[in-house]
Amino acid sequence: MTLRVNDLKVYYQTLRGDVHALDGVSFDLADGEIMGLAGESGCGKSTLGKSLIRLDGRMRHVDGTIELDGKDVPIADDRAMTPFRFHEISLIPQYAMSALNPTRKIGRMINELLRSRGVRPNTIAEELNRRLELVGLDPDVLNRFPIELSGGMKQRVVMVMATLLNPSLLIADEATSALDVSTQRSVVESMVEFRDRGYVKSMIFVTHDISLVYQMADTVMVMYAGRIAEKAPASTIINDPQHPYTKMLIGALPEVGTTTEDTRLEGIPGTPPGLLKPPTGCRFKDRCPIASEECSETPPLVEIDPGHWAACWKTGR
Amino acid sequence: MSNIPGAPGAADGASAPEAVGERKVSETLHFARRNPKLLIGSSIVLILLLTGLIGPLFVDHGPNEYVGPQSQPPSSEYWFGTTTFGQDIWAQFVHGLRSTFFTGALGGGIAFVVGTTIGFVAGYKGGIVDEILNMLTNVVLVLPGMVVLIVAVAYLDVRGLLVQALFIGLTSWPWAARAVRSQALSLATRDYVDLARLSGRRTWRIITSEVAPNMSSYLVMSFILLFGGAILIAAGLDFIGLGPAGGVSLGLMLENAVGWSALQLGMWWWFIPPGTGITVLVGSMYILNVGLDEVFNPKLREL
Amino acid sequence: MLELSHVHKVYRVGAFGGARLRAVRDVSLTVEPGEVVSLIGESGSGKSTIGKMVLGLTKVSSGQIRFEGDDVSHIRGFSAKKEYYRRVQGVFQDPFSSFNPIFKADRVFTMIRSSYFPEMSDADWKDKILAALATVRLDPDNVLDKYPHQLSGGQLQRLLIARALLLDIRLLVADEIISMLDASTRIDVLNLLGDLKERGLGILFVTHDLSLGNYVSDKSVILRKGAIAEMGPTRRVFENPLHPYSRHLLSCVPQLHRTWAEVDAELAANPPEDYLLPTVEEGDDSAPLTEAEEGHFVGIDQS
Amino acid sequence: MWRYMGRKIGIYGITFVVAVTINWMIPRFMPGDPVSSMLSRASISDPEALERMTAYYNDVFGLDTPLHQQYFSFWAGLFRGDLGISVWLYPEPVTDIILRAVPFTVGLLLPAIILSWIIGNRFGAFAARSKILDNTLLPIGYILTATPYMWIALLLAWALAVNGGFFPTAGGYSFALTPSFSWVFISNLLSHWFLPFLSMFVVALGGWAIGMRNMIIYELEADYSNYLQALGAPRRLIRRYAFRNAMLPQITGLAVQLGTLIAGALLTEIVFNYPGLGTLMLNSLNNRDFFLLQGIFLFVVIGVLIANFIIDIIYVLVDPRTRVQMTGGSS
């Protein structure tokens, strides 16, 4: 077991009170697992990704523990987190296009970063070149400035840089959302390849695009309003979802080939609840077609099949 | 415009001005009431403004009249002392403050109108209009404004506050034009501007009712900076002897003090008050501006 | 109804407009009443520029756009443009940028009223709004008198469609209107486009997402580097893509029930025949199409 | 890259033409007769000399020739390096008088600008370190930039020269000395130089500190800073990057502020009666010596343009992005 998250609660502090962005999230991530983390905007998926590596100024760790390779990850303590960052846990951010210092040559910046983290750059230089070639980049990019690269190239540079120290956990936060489909495919395939080669032990791929997750993830975790709705192997989530939210979400996605004439797809009526004062009980109950009285109590996340977890009173226990 | 003190938003177009909805208004007020820079800055400016407005009413003699004993240090009768000629420095100070506010507001105001108009038109229209206006702005920006002013004002035989303010206004607008242009440039690409065009709105209405309100905080800050800058330029002109003839201003007080050797005579009360007045006034304006920036720009609240 | 013939758009970029950037190259297409035409392309394909040219927000470099027989590529004058917008409207990508954040969301209605229906009584206007809201399935209590940030992206986009419906429009340009929406709400907006089509509206739907383009449209146009790569009835284009670029795109789209590996395997099992593409001379900026089957056109190779 | 430089040079060329045109226009379009107005103040007792001067200046202005001809002959004179003859120090050519004063002004400005820029930037970066530093150091910076140059000069002169007696109050060097490369003369020169320099330095320092502080906060919020933090890079590295990137706009700021700084130098010189262009300007004003005044104006404009150009070159050398964009890198 690489990662074990237990009842994690992270709130955003605002003027009007705490926003319960992550409200009791527990899950495990196995060695070698690529987990797709999907959900609508505001469901807490990005907060979860960030929490695992660095809480920003307004985020507050309220409760819960995180264990990585058997070690406790002290996410609330910024200083104590430093040894984990880059070495154990790494990140491909949403803003990968602008994640490189614009006035440094890429190679020099990577070397300076490595040195500052106690790694001698020349011990790793060869590996760096090899990995750049693996993602289809000429090692000459190291002598260029970020502005000289296209978006897809920068994305790949960041991917290579983030995984250079073979972290146990890589968080990819909407890492390919800004790319065109053809670039997206090759970047995503490189990520899988990195996992296969053991450059990263496990990966959390945060995205709003479920069909993309289906292409590359082993498991998919669907979040809703700060909680986990369902987690299962990717094909199960797509072909046999159990949580009503997942079902409706999948049902709302048009595919290449479907047209209004064949089938008229339906969206989910209503909007997600505000998380400033989250409702009690199941958070999906107001939009759920099969909600009943028992839903006013919070459904626990239970394993309904081996490896298939869902938080709904209606799924068989 | 990073080097303009307190210039909002750091880099050109770095951060678009924050929007002000209903919730945002109350949020802004919340921060405004708790921002010491804003509170201290604005109270000092207000106090000085009131001194300039009301002060002269309580002085029953003109600022340049010879009313008292000569070269007296501050006393209970003459709060700020007297000049070598027996003029009441307090009277000069309050009157000078008044004209300093006047030139600052008028000069800064003219620069503001010219600068924002050029900035808006250049930023919104784009293309060749932008190209030409930008060129004009750069030319005026590179010209050393103060030196142009000195040469121009030198030829004028009749010099009044109004003419001085006008000249200051016409030379100090370029950085404001540049700042407004870059803001307008980014706002003009917003979809709501296109939508207003699709709603059959005319260009000037789009600028005044769609673009400008969204950068109102930015505009207020630019005006304050121009105001302060105009005061400093006016003081410099006055000091060289190009001030309003026969008038009184804080800059002229400094000129007289130096011209009549207050320094060598040790008459510190002659040059300390006008200089302090200018510095404190402009300094509080700048600090007030930083306060405003912090209130409107959430990014800066944290540091 | 809408007819583009040989439309080009060339931007001049760089200092003094030295370099040229060809955004749209020789595009010809039509939109009929009750037809949804999808313009599909990656970034830099010129799809949004075409939308903006149709809406008169960007000038046409050469070629002609005709709407109901009139040449609308160079509408001069404010009132002519205003009349054009009575019949042609647009909705844009970012709902939060389409609303001026300092005003209430329903101001987009008020702007239409003041431009186009200044005579209408309050009661009639109210009825008109309620009817438009009913068409887009919005509850007036939930959306009227609210600020944009109090509404969801889906609600905002539907408000904008309702706004367009207040006018007697014949053509709607929908520029990436769902790409910023969440999966659970975007389908409803797409269905809404289907409803509008039933009412006889022509819709030009600009999108980067092949599966979405496919869902609503009757005709699909795949663009690459400003020129049409493939154009035809949606079903034909997606079932029998002829241009290598279309095939490549389709093989890269993440699909919900087929993995990339499966798609690749299928392609390898029965490889599609190469289709002979039209060619142009070096330096010729036209982009001819050849008709492969009825209504199904294939464009030049630009790889 | 050459295109960028060409554009810049174009703007400077236009600026120069505009400046010369303004210079030519002002005496001609302002009310009153410039020649008589000028000579009314000149204290000349010899009527013959006065006549000679009147004839000379009437000829130079050429007021009886058509306007465009006046304009062209003005340019022609300019290219010969002929800016006319001074009224105040008749019959010395304006150019000679100005060239005598230029070294003093440059000697004052250059060190003041460069040192205040370097130290101000450090100061601003330091202030951005913590809220406490920011709240204490920054207001000082704002008060400094709000101080009129001449006033800080007065205060320093009063405190350190009149009361303290550490430095002389006026002049460029003691009249008793003749310029030479001796230790006595140079130390005398420096002691006269120090106070004007200090007042310039102090005011300019505040402005740079504030500019740097604003820029560095922006850089520390930038995505690359955030990313480095997420990867556990030490604050030191992130600050170093932010500082360097924040320097770039500060270089542009240098160009923008040049006019203000020069104006400041002129005012400061007047307080200390320092024999540079500022004092010369005051004298020309008081003696209605418009030729001298306009000559000074042209010199200042040329100086500003040259400085701007140098700053542009430095910027291109320092910021890799401009070079890449100009050679047409893919983005």
- The winner for highest mean pLDDT among A256-265, C67-76, D127-136 is C67-76
Contact yes or no for B302 and A57 at CB 8 A:
yes
DSSP-assigned beta bridge partners for residue B66: B87
Give a yes or no: residue C252 inside a domain: no
- Could you tell me which of B8, B1, B3, B2 has the C-alpha nearest to residue B224? B8
Q: Would you give the distance in Å from CA D145 to the centre of its chain?
A: 16
Q: Is residue C281 part of a domain?
A: no
Domain that holds residue C162: 2-237
Q: Is residue D327 very low, low, confident or very high in pLDDT (cuts 50, 70, 90)?
A: very low
Chain A, nearest residue to C248 by Cα: A182
What is d(CA D15, CA D303) in angstroms, rounded to the nearest whole number?
12
CB A39 within 8 A of CB A45: yes
Residue B7 reports pLDDT greater than 80: no
Residue in this structure with the two tokens 């893919």, named with its chain if needed: D330
Matching residue, tokens 């008198």 = C145
Confidence band, pLDDT 50/70/90 cuts, at residue D226 = very high
Mean pLDDT of A181-187: 90
Q: Which residue has the higher pLDDT, C189 or C204?
A: C204
Q: How far is CA B189 from the centre of its chain?
A: 30
Q: What is the mean pLDDT of the segment spanning C88-99?
A: 91
Per-chain mean pLDDT for chain A: 91
Among B17-31, B187-201, D36-50, D106-120, the minimum mean pLDDT is found in B17-31
Which residues does C97 contact at the CB level (< 8 Å), separation at least 6? B190, B191, B192
Q: Is the pLDDT of residue A112 over 90?
A: yes
Per-residue model confidence (pLDDT) at position C7: 95
Interchain pair D210, B6: CB under 8 A: yes
Distance CA D41, CA A130 (A): 83
> Across the interface, which of B2, B143, B154 has its CB nearest the CB of D19?
B143
pLDDT digits (tens, 9 = 90+) for A39-96: 988 899 999 999 999 988 889 999 999 999 999 999 999 999 999 999 999 999 988 8
Mean pLDDT of C284-292: 89
pLDDT score at A282:
93
Radius of gyration for chain A, computed over Cα atoms and rounded to the nearest angstrom: 20
Nearest in space to A189 (alpha carbons), one of D224, C180, C251 = C251
Dihedral of CA atoms C77, C80, C83, C88 in degrees, nearest 10, equals -90
- In whole numbers, what is the pLDDT of chain D averaged over residues? 83
**Is C178 inside a domain boundary?**
yes
Are B180 and B119 a contacting pair, CB within 8 Å?
Answer: yes
The subunits that touch chain A, with at least 3 C-beta pairs less than 8 Å apart, are B, C, D
Burial of B49 (0-12, 13-18, 19+ CB in 10 A): middle
Chain C positions touching B22 (Cβ under 8 A) are 147
Quick one: closest CA in A to D330, which residue?
A148
C159-181 pLDDT, tens digit each:
999 999 999 899 999 998 888 88
ipTM of the complex: 0.87
**In chain D, pLDDT over 70 holds for what percent of residues?**
89
Contacts B–C by Cβ distance under 8 A = 59
How far B155 CA sits from the closest chain D CA (Å)? 7
SS3 C40: strand
What is B45-55+96-260+277-300's CATH number?
A: 1.10.3720.10
> How does pLDDT run across B189-235, given as a tens digit for each residue?
888 999 999 998 888 888 888 888 888 888 988 999 999 999 999 99
Q: Find which of B18, B195, B207, B296 to mutate to test the C interface (most C CBs within 10 Å of its CB).
A: B195
**Residue in D222, D233, D330 nearest the CB of A148:** D330
Q: Which tens digits make up the pLDDT trace of C210-257?
A: 888 888 889 999 999 999 999 999 989 998 999 999 999 989 988 888
Minimal Cβ distance to A214: which of C216, C250, C256: C256
The shares of helix, strand and coil residues in chain C, as percent rounded to the nearest 5, are 40, 25, 35
In a domain? residue C266: no
pLDDT of B32-42, one tens digit each?
777 888 889 99
Helix residue ranges per DSSP H, chain D: 2-29, 34-41, 47-61, 67-79, 94-127, 131-146, 149-156, 183-220, 223-230, 235-272, 277-286, 290-318, 320-326
The whole-number pLDDT of residue D326 equals: 47
Residues with Cβ within 8 Å of C69's Cβ and at least 6 positions away in sequence, in order, are none
Q: Give dist(CA B273, CA D105) in Å, integer.
A: 29
pLDDT at res. D87: 73
Q: Which of A84-93, A107-116, A192-201, D84-93 has the least mean pLDDT?
A: D84-93
- Over residues D232-243, the pLDDT tens digits come to 999 999 999 999
* Residue A271 CB partners (closer than 8 Å, separation 6+): C152
- Token couple for B287: 């600090």
Average pLDDT for A95-113: 93
Report the share of chain D in percent with pLDDT over 90: 21
Mean pLDDT of D142-151: 90
Interface with chain D: mutation pick from A95, A101, A153, A157, highest number of D CBs within 10 Å: A101
Q: Is C81's CB within 8 Å of B200's CB?
A: yes
8 A C-beta contact, residue D260 and residue B4: no
Three-class SS of residue D117?
A: helix
Number of structural domains chain C divides into: 1
Range with lowest mean pLDDT among A109-123, D77-91, D95-109? D77-91
C39 close to C51: Cβ distance less than 8 angstroms: yes
| Coil, strand or helix at C71 | strand
Q: Are A171 and A84 in contact (CB under 8 A)?
A: no
Measured CA to CA, the distance from residue D231 to residue C135 in angstroms comes to: 51
Residues in a beta bridge with C219: C37, C233
Q: Measured between CB atoms, does B157 come within 8 Å of chain D?
A: yes
Across the interface, do A57 and B27 touch by the CB < 8 Å criterion?
no
pLDDT at D321: 73
Q: Are A106 and A158 in contact (CB under 8 A)?
A: no
- Is residue C244 assigned to a domain? no
**Does C89 map to a domain?**
yes
Looking at A9-23, A220-234, B4-18, which range is the least confident one? Answer: B4-18
Question: Scanning every residue of chain B, which has its alpha carbon at the shortest distance from the alpha carbon of D23?
Answer: B151
Helix (H) or strand (E) holding B259: helix B250-259
Which residues of chain C does D6 touch, with a Cβ-Cβ cutoff of 8 Å? 15
Domain for residue C164, yes or no? yes
What's the Cα-to-Cα distance from D301 to each of B139, D75, D178, D258, rounded to whole Å?
11, 15, 31, 11
Residue D284: pLDDT over 90: no
Nearest Cα of chain A lies from the Cα of D224 at a distance, in angstroms, of 4
Q: For residue A39, give the nearest of A25, A52, A29, A55 by alpha carbon.
A: A25
β-bridge mates for residue D12, sequence order: none
Q: Which of A208-217, B62-71, B134-143 has the lowest mean pLDDT?
A: B62-71
CB-based contact C14 D3, cutoff 8 Å: yes
* A–C interface: beta-carbon pairs under 8 A: 108
Chain D residue numbers with beta carbons less than 8 Å from the beta carbon of A118 are none
Which string of DSSP letters, residue by residue, matches A209-240?
Answer: -HHHHHHH-SEEEEEETTEEEEEEEHHHHHHS
B11 CA: distance to closest CA in chain A (Å):
15
What is the pLDDT averaged over residues A260-268? 79
∠A44-A45-A51 over CA atoms, to 5°?
85
Output the pLDDT for position D330: 34
User: Confidence class of residue A136 from pLDDT cuts 50, 70 and 90?
Assistant: very high
Residue D146 sits at the chain B interface (C-beta within 8 Å) = yes
Distance of alpha carbon C287 from alpha carbon C291, whole angstroms: 13
Give me the pLDDT at residue B5, please: 40
CA–CA min distance D304, chain C (Å): 23
Measured between beta carbons, the chain D residues lying within 8 angstroms of B264 are 162, 169
Those residues with Cβ within 8 angstroms of residue D36's Cβ, 6 or more apart along the chain or in another chain: none
CA distances from C76 to A255, C81, C82, C173, D315 (A): 43, 7, 10, 21, 44
Give B152-168 as a DSSP string: HHHH-SS--HHHHHHHH
Whole-number Å distance between alpha carbons of D248 and D24: 37
- With an 8 Å Cβ cutoff, are B27 and A15 in contact? yes
Higher pLDDT among residues B272 and A255, named by residue: B272
For chain B, list residues whose CB is within 8 angstroms of any CB belonging to chain A: 27, 30, 302
- Tens of pLDDT along B118-134? 998 888 887 788 888 98
Which CATH number goes with the domain that contains C33?
3.40.50.300
Chains that touch C (3 or more CB pairs under 8 A): A, B, D
Residues of chain A whose C-beta is under 8 A from some C-beta in B? 15, 57
Cα A132 to Cα A110: distance, rounded to the nearest angstrom: 13
Whether the pLDDT of residue A177 is over 70: the answer is yes
Rounded CA gap, A22 and A225, in Å?
8
Determine which of A274-278, C9-13, D281-285 has the lowest per-residue pLDDT on average.
Answer: C9-13
For residue C6, is it within any domain? yes
Domain ranges of chain B: 45-55+96-260+277-300
Q: In which order are the strands placed within the sheet that holds C227-233? A: C88-91, C171-175, C202-207, C36-40, C219-224, C227-233, C296-298, C290-293
* pLDDT band at B89; cut points 50, 70, 90: confident
DSSP designation for B17: P
Looking from the CA of C100 toward its CB, the CA atoms found within 13 Å total 26
CA distance A175 to A187: 9
